[in-house]
């Protein structure tokens, strides 16, 4: 588990063929079981885009089995929650929602309930499901995604509960079908796992060692996505900057970006997440040179204080982080920078937290993803002294949000009257004839427009800035 240099193992084509045969078998079983209309599957994904990308593969397999998708779990024949273990709150939501399925299943005895993803990779969780949620039929972890057809077949066939939560080492399974949630933007995983062991983080325990897909596989999928008509490709990995490490194909992340940038087609490239420890000037120069790469850098700093950063095992200092930011702004004056922050790491003092505030004021991030520290079982930080009460951390958290709000308002005011190219992502939640789009720097703008524009780029002039909410009008 902790051998950081273990070679990647690619699941054999024979094994993948075997899984394809299970898909075909299930298709026959389901056709006999549901002769009049296709069986329905409800798939809900928690957590990061890595999980979303996994769900798109599971949905690819479900679709080949003959399932159609529904948003209503009450009418589903198959329910799957793909879970996230990053914070306690994420886990509580899953347990709550699995609990709420019990009466649904009582009414519909044939329903198959499955749980997968990061939470299931923790022994205490899979044991809790085994003991306290007997109506859950199938549990599988992050290493078993490609074995899903075999596991589901076993549930259908033997009518027994199936658990597959083993840790398989650094495996990569290629060739699973993909059912993409969007027609115009696509997730493209380039690597899996994480070797960084930040002291607060569960990911290295539930996702295993870092491993990279080959450049050939990544390029082949990028071409598929472009041919499919998508206009935005987001490259995914917990630390995309370590792409290619421990592999012998001699392509690092900047080189991979260049290779994708050179592909024909009208599309934008985004990526996440970049870790400051491995973010190089080569990467920032490459971003600056590549026309198709969006001018957006998500670079989580977590804390602005060097002692806290050391305790977090982040591998960089505040000064090194700021140097990167300054370099990025120098080579890309229009760069938009976003970040993640943890408030109330064990032992963090008010003074140390103030260093996070001063860093935010200095960098002026476009937006922030902010979290109060949540202790995760088995991590180093879980065992650290944590004397500051949650109520106090909440106050710091609110203070941080207020500072960021001020920065966002100022930025919004500066955007007033200017025109931006935005990628139209959909209608507004209110569905009031308005559309919502995102700038290259990942800033949302609402504007009136026809739904036929969804999935295209339009120029929008910002006409109104209410706090950080922007609205505008399409212009030529």
Q: Which residues bind ligand SAH (CB under 6 A)?
A: 86-87, 200-201, 238-239, 273, 275, 300, 302, 340, 342, 371, 373-374, 376
**∠ Cα 201 381 168 (to 5°):** 40
Q: How far is the CB of 309 from ligand SF4 (least distance, A)?
A: 12
Q: Please report whether residue 207 would count as binding ligand F3S according to CB under 6 A.
A: yes
Which residue, 95, 282, 61, is CA-closest to 177? 61
Q: Please report whether residue 48 would count as binding ligand F3S according to CB under 6 A.
A: yes
Q: Please report whether residue 240 would count as binding ligand F3S according to CB under 6 A.
A: no
User: Could you give the CA distance from residue 136 to residue 134 in angstroms, rounded to a whole number?
Assistant: 5
Q: Which helix (H) or strand (E) holds 419?
A: strand 419-427
Q: How far is the CB of 393 from ligand SAH (least distance, A)?
A: 11
Tell me which of ligand SF4, ligand F3S, ligand SAH, none is bound by residue 342, counting a contact when its beta carbon lies within the kind-specific cut-off of 5 to 8 angstroms. Answer: ligand SAH
Binding mask 267-306 for ligand SF4 (x = CB under 6 A): --------x-------------------------------
In the complex with ligand F3S, the residue whose CB is nearer, 239 or 303, is: 239
Q: Please report whether residue 288 would count as binding ligand F3S according to CB under 6 A.
A: no
249 secondary structure, DSSP code: S
Q: Which two tokens stand for residue 199?
A: 């002291």
Q: How far is the CB of 298 from ligand SF4 (least distance, A)?
A: 12
In the complex with ligand SF4, the residue whose CB is nearer, 225 or 368, is: 368
The per-residue b/e assignment along 163-177, b for 16 or more CB within 10 angstroms, e otherwise, is bbbeebebbbbeebe
Q: Please report whether residue 408 would count as binding ligand F3S according to CB under 6 A.
A: no
Among 62, 84, 325, 400, binds ligand F3S (CB under 6 A): 84
Q: Please report whether residue 85 would count as binding ligand F3S according to CB under 6 A.
A: yes
Question: Phi and psi for 295 in degrees, rounded to 5?
Answer: -80, 60
Q: Which two tokens stand for residue 85?
A: 């273990």
Q: How far is the CB of 257 from ligand SAH (least distance, A)?
A: 18
Site for ligand SF4 in 194-223 (CB under 6 A): 194, 196-198, 201, 203-204
Tokens 């194909």 found at:
249
Tell me which of ligand F3S, ligand SF4, ligand SAH, none is bound by residue 115, counting a contact when its beta carbon lies within the kind-specific cut-off of 5 to 8 angstroms. Answer: none
Among 23, 58, 101, 118, binds ligand F3S (CB under 6 A): 118
In the complex with ligand F3S, the residue whose CB is nearer, 273 or 412, is: 273
3-state secondary structure at position 458? strand
Give the sign of the dihedral formed by CA 318, CA 323, CA 326, CA 332: negative
3-state secondary structure at position 436? strand
Please say whether the beta carbons of 243 and 191 come within 8 A. yes
Q: Please report whether residue 237 would count as binding ligand SF4 according to CB under 6 A.
A: no
Q: Please report whether residue 360 would count as binding ligand SF4 according to CB under 6 A.
A: no
Distance of CA 92 to the CA centre of its chain: 19
Please say whether the beta carbons of 471 and 445 come within 8 A. yes
């Amino acid at each position: 588990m902790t051998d950081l240099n273990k070679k990647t193992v690619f699941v054999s084509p024979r094994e993948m063929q075997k899984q394809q045969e299970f898909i075909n078998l299930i298709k026959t079983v389901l056709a006999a079981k549901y002769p009049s209309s296709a069986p329905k599957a409800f798939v809900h994904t928690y957590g990061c885009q890595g999980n979303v990308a996994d769900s798109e593969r599971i949905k690819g397999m479900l679709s080949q089995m003959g399932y159609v998708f529904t948003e209503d779990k009450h009418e589903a024949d198959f329910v799957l929650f793909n879970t996230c273990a990053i914070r306690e709150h994420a886990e509580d939501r899953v347990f709550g929602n699995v609990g709420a399925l019990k009466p649904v299943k009582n009414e519909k005895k044939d329903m198959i309930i499955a749980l997968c993803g990061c939470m299931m990779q923790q022994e205490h969780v899979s044991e809790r499901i085994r003991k306290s949620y007997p109506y859950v039929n199938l549990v599988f972890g992050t290493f078993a995604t490609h074995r899903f057809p075999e596991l589901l077949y076993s549930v259908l066939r033997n009518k027994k509960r199936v658990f597959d939560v083993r840790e398989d080492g650094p495996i990569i399974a290629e060739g699973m079908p993909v059912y993409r949630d969007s027609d115009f933007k696509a997730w493209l995983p380039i690597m899996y796992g994480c070797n960084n062991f930040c002291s607060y983080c569960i990911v290295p325990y539930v996702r295993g060692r870092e491993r990279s897909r080959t450049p050939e596989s990544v390029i082949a999928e990028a071409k598929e996505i472009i041919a499919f008509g998508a206009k935005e490709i987001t490259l995914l990995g917990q630390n995309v900057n370590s792409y290619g490490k421990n592999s012998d194909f001699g392509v690092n992340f900047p080189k991979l970006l260049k290779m994708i940038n050179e592909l024909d087609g009208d599309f934008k490239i985004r990526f996440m997440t970049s870790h400051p420890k491995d973010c190089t000037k080569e990467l920032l120069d490459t971003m600056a040179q590549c026309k198709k790469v969006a001018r957006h850098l998500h670079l989580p700093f977590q804390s602005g204080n060097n002692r806290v950063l050391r305790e977090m095992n982040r591998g960089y200092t505040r000064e090194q982080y700021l140097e990167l930011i300054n370099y990025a702004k120098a080579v890309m004056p229009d760069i938009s920078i976003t970040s993640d922050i943890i408030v109330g790491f064990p032992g963090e003092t008010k003074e140390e937290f103030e260093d996070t505030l001063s860093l935010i004021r200095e960098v002026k991030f476009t937006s922030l993803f902010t979290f109060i520290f949540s202790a995760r079982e088995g991590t180093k930080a879980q065992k650290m002294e944590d004397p500051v009460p949650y109520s106090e951390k909440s106050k710091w958290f609110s203070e941080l949000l207020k500072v960021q709000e001020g920065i966002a308002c100022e930025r919004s005011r500066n955007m007033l009257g200017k025109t931006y190219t935005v990628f139209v992502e959909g209608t507004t939640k209110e569905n009031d004839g308005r559309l919502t789009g995102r700038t290259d720097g990942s800033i949302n703008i609402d504007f009136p427009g026809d739904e036929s524009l969804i999935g295209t780029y339009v120029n929008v002039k910002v006409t109104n800035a209410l706090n950080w909410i922007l609205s505008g009008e399409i212009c030529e």
